[in-house]
Structure 1
Amino acid sequence: MTAHIPKAELHCHIEGAAPTVLVRSQADKYGVDIEHLIDGARFVWNDFTSFLSAYDAAAALFRTEEDYALLAQSYLESIAAQGAIYSEVFISPDHARIAGLSPEAYVNGLGEGIRRAREQHGIEGRLIITCVRHFDADAAIDVARFAAARPHPMVTGFGMGGDERIGSHADFARAFDIARDAGLGITTHAGEVAGPESVRDALDHVRPSRIGHGVRAIEDPSLVEHLADTGVVLEICPGSNVSLSVYETFTDHPFTALRDAGVKVTINSDDPPFFDTSLGDEYAIVQNEFGLSDDELLDTTRTALEAAFVDEDTRAQLLAKL
């Protein structure tokens, strides 16, 4: 077990972190029938497209500032119990609007959840505002401007999620420029369901310091070398990759190959209840399936904290916990 290893997470979607018991409670609160969405303790989906649909349906059940405070607090508390000292979560103002909540109230609720979890459990958290790739570029610019205005002290990054198979990062370059110019950390999803060309597309057009997933870079040796040379950090989510059949088994997964090639890798849970996992489970997967020692797991936590979108005083305090 890895409960004694301090953990840090850079890649988790907050709506995708809602456990089925909380989603059921929210559905009861709002009188929504979700029998098609949940089977026992699992969300119902069978491929990447249906996963996105299930995700959006669950997200639509969080509609008030307090709903989101409860979501953030409960998630951070759950991983603090697994040894986590830090977590960044992706948040989507577009999903909040669809649910009828203003972006300001959405961010304030999540920030309040972080405050409660820090006060009660000592875990630190930050928010990465994301645009959605399968929406449109104009919407992304609006989201970037909202993020650039720093609507809450916990907002420290900007990124993009959604269906990686649609469009190019070039379509969203303006949004990323707005966020970068405001001093926000930059990350984006690439190299998950699409191949290494997706990673190159991200590097060429939005210049991120981190890539969400990025595992399919392994298919292009020159790209792997470039990632190692430039220090771009990969936010790797092994359980998610296998659940979504990016790789059939952990034996096929390139975590070890990327790490051995000098690429900076981190351990993350992505959308944990959708993939029947948790941050603690992901650390255990990396140890049991990929053979990392306790010290090597700790090094991976250190990599995450060094890449985290936090001020330097907070970074120093977090690194001191290792």
Structure 2
Amino acid sequence: MRPVATLPKAHLHLHFTGSMRHTTLVELAERDGVRLPTALVEDWPPQLSAADEKGWFRFQRLYDVARSVLRTEGDVRRLLREAAEDDRDDGSVWMEIQVDPSGYAGLFGGITAFTDLVLDAAREAERTAGIGIGVIIAANRTKHPLDARTLARLAAQYAGRGVIGFGLSNDERRGTTADFERAFAIARHAGLASLPHGGELRGPANIDACLTHLHADRLGHGVRSIEDPRLLKRIATAGIPLEVCPASNVSLGVYDTYQEVPVRELVAAGAQLGISADDPLLFGSRLAAQYSILRAAQSFTDDELAELARMSLRSARAPSDVVESGLKGIDAWLRTPDPEPPAD
């Protein structure tokens, strides 16, 4: 079996704070005297479940604690540099990272100043790591839709200058998807991709709402489209990619085992997928590990993994030369002789 870390791929679903290295989290917390819960130290990665409100609250609390260690410009630059280096080492040639600037505005001079910092840090990380980076501005569906409109206008200002899309994240069970329609219209008018979360914690009805009201170009997760064959056919026919995150699905209790994550079924139905890691800091595994999971739990062959990598590149908002180079790299990966099994 060829090493999945050398398979060229794109990373489409990665959250800003959630991309932090665990070692960096611990180091920054020690620097500023931040007391981390045991779930982020001795018991890391944490045992999570979002099956109910209490479980999601615990997940969100851990995320908020992790975000609190990012206190300086240097911390932000370090996070993006290390995330890009980790993705590069996992075979990624293009990384899309999503961030809600309002969560960091208080320490960094407002949402515009923080967005400027993130975009400058992303360009610096591109040069350091040698991969492409696109930034997604994401609204929080637990907040008022007017806040989302403010962020959509912010994102629109940076269209063509590093921001590639507008998203909607946090607990799917909160808020009404249709209420964010105006915010997404603002972003689309500026030429940004519509990239909302949908179809992980809630089922087909919320996916349908994302398609109907937010005109999703791609869906964050979308795995539960498998529960509605007509909806899945609609997604496949329209060519709307799904950002599938196996470790997230199991860690949050959407599925009990990796075998149950419906990757094969989605592919068989004609859906385009972008296998992603979501929040490596909380789920304990990065991009290449998601491909290894599919190899181990669902017996994906190298040819099948290569096709998933092709899908990720074709689904990315990356420059055409990055996509073409990545696709050629996948072909070269497959031409590499299959390693000999170890001797007994």
Query: TM bucket by the smaller chain?
Result: over 0.9
Q: Report the equivalent of 1:14.
A: 16
Distance between the aligned counterparts of 1:225 and 1:302, measured in 2? 21
Deviations 1:246-296 (A, max 9, x none): 000122211110111111112100001211111010011122222322232
Pairwise CA distance, 1:133: 0.7
Distance 1:68 1:298, change over 3 A: same
Q: Report the equivalent of 1:302.
A: 310
Distance between the aligned counterparts of 2:290 and 2:97, measured in 1? 16
Pairwise CA distance, 1:318: 4.2
Contact preservation (8 Å) 2:98, 2:135: yes
Q: 2:61 aligns with which of 38, 43, 53?
A: 53
Alignment of 1:222-237 (within 5 A): 222-237=230-245
Partner AA of 1:212 in structure 2: G
Q: Report the equivalent of 1:119.
A: 127
Q: Report the equivalent of 1:42.
A: 44
Distance 1:101 1:37, change over 3 A: farther
The 3-state SS of whatever aligns with 1:246 is coil
Pairwise CA distance, 1:206: 0.5
Pairwise CA distance, 1:104: 3.1
Distance 1:311 1:83, change over 3 A: closer
Q: Report the equivalent of 2:265.
A: 257
TM-score by length of 2: 0.88
Pairwise CA distance, 1:101: 4.3
The 3-state SS of whatever aligns with 1:288 is helix
The yes-or-no answer on 1:208 pairing with 2:216 is: yes
Contact preservation (8 Å) 2:104, 2:114: yes
Deviations 1:167-188 (A, max 9, x none): 2221100110000000011111
Deviates further, 234-243 or 82-91: 82-91
Identity level (%): 34
Structure having the higher Rg: 2
Q: Report the equivalent of 2:27.
A: 25
Pairwise CA distance, 1:297: 1.9
Distance between the aligned counterparts of 2:236 and 2:90, measured in 1? 30
The 3-state SS of whatever aligns with 2:220 is strand
Distance between the aligned counterparts of 2:204 and 2:316, measured in 1? 24
Deviates further, 20-29 or 136-145: 20-29
Q: Report the equivalent of 1:78.
A: 86
Deviations 1:100-126 (A, max 9, x none): 543233233333333333323321111
Distance between the aligned counterparts of 2:250 and 2:135, measured in 1? 26
Pairwise CA distance, 1:313: 4.6
Deviations 1:119-152 (A, max 9, x none): 2332111101100011111111111000000178
Partner AA of 1:65 in structure 2: E
Distance between the aligned counterparts of 1:121 and 1:96, measured in 2? 24
Gaps of 5+ in 2: 51-55, 331-344
Distance 1:201 1:23, change over 3 A: same
Q: 1:270 aligns with which of 268, 278, 281?
A: 278
Contact preservation (8 Å) 2:248, 2:279: yes
RCO greater where, 1 or 2, for CA within 8 Å and sep 6 or more? 2
Distance 1:8 1:41, change over 3 A: farther
Alignment of 1:94-105 (within 5 A): 94-105=102-113
Pairwise CA distance, 1:321: 3.9
Partner AA of 1:4 in structure 2: T
Contact preservation (8 Å) 1:234, 1:265: yes
TM-score by length of 1: 0.93
Alignment RMSD (CA, Å) = 1.9
Deviates further, 96-105 or 205-214: 96-105
Pairwise CA distance, 1:245: 0.9
Distance between the aligned counterparts of 1:129 and 1:45, measured in 2? 28
